[in-house]
Amino acid sequence: MTAGTDDDLSPRPHTPVEIWQPTGEPLPLVCDSPHSGTAYPDDFGHAVPLALLRRGEDTHVHRLWQAAPRHGATLLAATFPRTYIDANRHETDLCPTQIDGAWPAPLNPGPKTQQGLGLIWQRISQDGVATPLYRRKLTVAEVQHRIDRYWRPYHAALQAAIDASVQRFGCVWHLNLHSMPHDVYRRLGRHDAPPLADFVLGDRDGTTCSADFIHLIGDTLRGLGHTVAFNEPYKGVELIARIGQPPLRRHSLQIEIRRPVYMDEDTRAPHAGFARLQQHLDQVLAAVAQHVRAQMRA
């Protein structure tokens, strides 16, 4: 299995999500990359240069983890960009003032929408400067189209993979895969923060997976020479909050990778560290697969 090369930014309206099934012995292990999509829909209507817009991508993340199916995991990736519609948000995470018209159901804008980074992004940041994505409000029909054609198919595919694992094995371990900009603390307005770690593991402060699972991954990464932080500055958002239910043997963990570890943030091109990081993540996946097998026998 080889994931796409991210060189083609052409629209893929009929393929909102790609799915790679296990090629090794199947395990109750699901990996998803909701933000690495690079297929920009024709109806986006953004008012910023594409080079700036692409700073919202978790570019290449699904390629970094492309060994997952060989270790028994199901791997999913959104093809659409998160700046078009964010698959890691609740569908009600919208502000009424960003919509032209009356939304037909109650909305629940959260902290991400207040930052301009909700279900439909309102701004993009570079070097501490936030730029509006649009020169107008989006209509109700436009937002509903994005939800129906992109957001819902992604969520349905991910939920189907989770449900299939639970039905077959009675349990599931879920890795929610992301990357993060090097200047994230500056974007968050934090000037007294520590250096950003290579990896940030989020379990919403211990609520979405077992402690041994998050520490297994953290210890493995540190053994490979990477710095690791827990829930700082990212704890996880919509997907792991919904999926992670440790008392029901449903463990969900968010993994953020600092982008300069594997790519040039300006050009989005992988650099020499990309192949090395792929090899390290292959070892992480091997450790995760071993842990899952042990837990299944427990």
Name the burial class of residue 231, with classes exposed (0-12), middle (13-18) and buried (19+) by CB atoms within 10 angstroms of its CB.
middle
Instruction: Tally the C-alpha atoms within 13 A of residue 115's C-alpha that lie toward its C-beta.
Output: 12
Task: Report pLDDT for 13.
Answer: 84
Exposure b/e, 190-200, CB count within 10 A at least 16 = b? eeeeeebbbbb
DSSP symbol at 245: B
Quote the crossing angle between the two packed helices 273-297 and 211-223, to the nearest 10°: 150
Instruction: Name which of 221, 194, 206 is nearest 282 in CA terms.
Output: 221
Residues 6 or more apart in contact with residue 242 via CB below 8 angstroms: none
Within-domain flag for 22: yes
Within-domain flag for 190: yes
Strands 29-33 and 228-230: unpaired
Task: Report pLDDT for 22.
Answer: 98
Within-domain flag for 154: yes
Within-domain flag for 135: yes
Instruction: Tally the C-alpha atoms within 13 A of residue 94's C-alpha that lie toward its C-beta.
Output: 27
H-type alpha helices, the chain: 50-53, 61-64, 111-114, 140-146, 152-169, 184-187, 211-223, 238-243, 273-297
**Token couple for 256:** 């953020």
Token pair 């449903």 in the structure block, residue: 250
Within-domain flag for 116: yes
Q: Which domain holds residue 93?
A: 17-297
CA distances from 218 to 22, 73, 214 (A): 24, 19, 6
Within-domain flag for 7: no
Q: Is the dihedral of CA 282, 288, 291, 295 positive or negative?
A: negative
Within-domain flag for 5: no
Cβ distance 183 to 128 under 8 Å? yes
Each of the 298 residues of the chain gets a pLDDT tens digit; together they read 444 456 679 989 899 999 999 999 999 999 999 999 999 999 999 999 999 999 999 999 999 999 999 999 999 999 999 999 999 999 999 999 999 999 999 999 999 999 999 999 999 988 778 999 999 999 999 999 999 999 999 999 999 999 999 999 999 999 999 999 998 888 777 888 889 999 999 999 999 999 999 999 999 999 999 999 999 999 999 999 999 999 999 999 999 999 999 999 999 999 999 999 999 999 999 999 999 999 999 8
Cβ distance 284 to 217 under 8 Å? yes
Task: Report pLDDT for 3.
Answer: 45
Side chain identity at 197, as an amino acid letter?
A: A
CATH number at residue 142: 3.40.630.40
Cβ distance 28 to 74 under 8 Å? no
Alpha carbon distance 37, 148 (integer Å)? 17
User: What is the total count of domains within the chain?
Assistant: 1
Alpha carbon distance 105, 102 (integer Å)? 9
Task: Report pLDDT for 6.
Answer: 62
Give the SS3 label for residue 176: strand
Within-domain flag for 168: yes
The strand pairing partners of 265, in sequence order, are: none
pTM score: 0.95
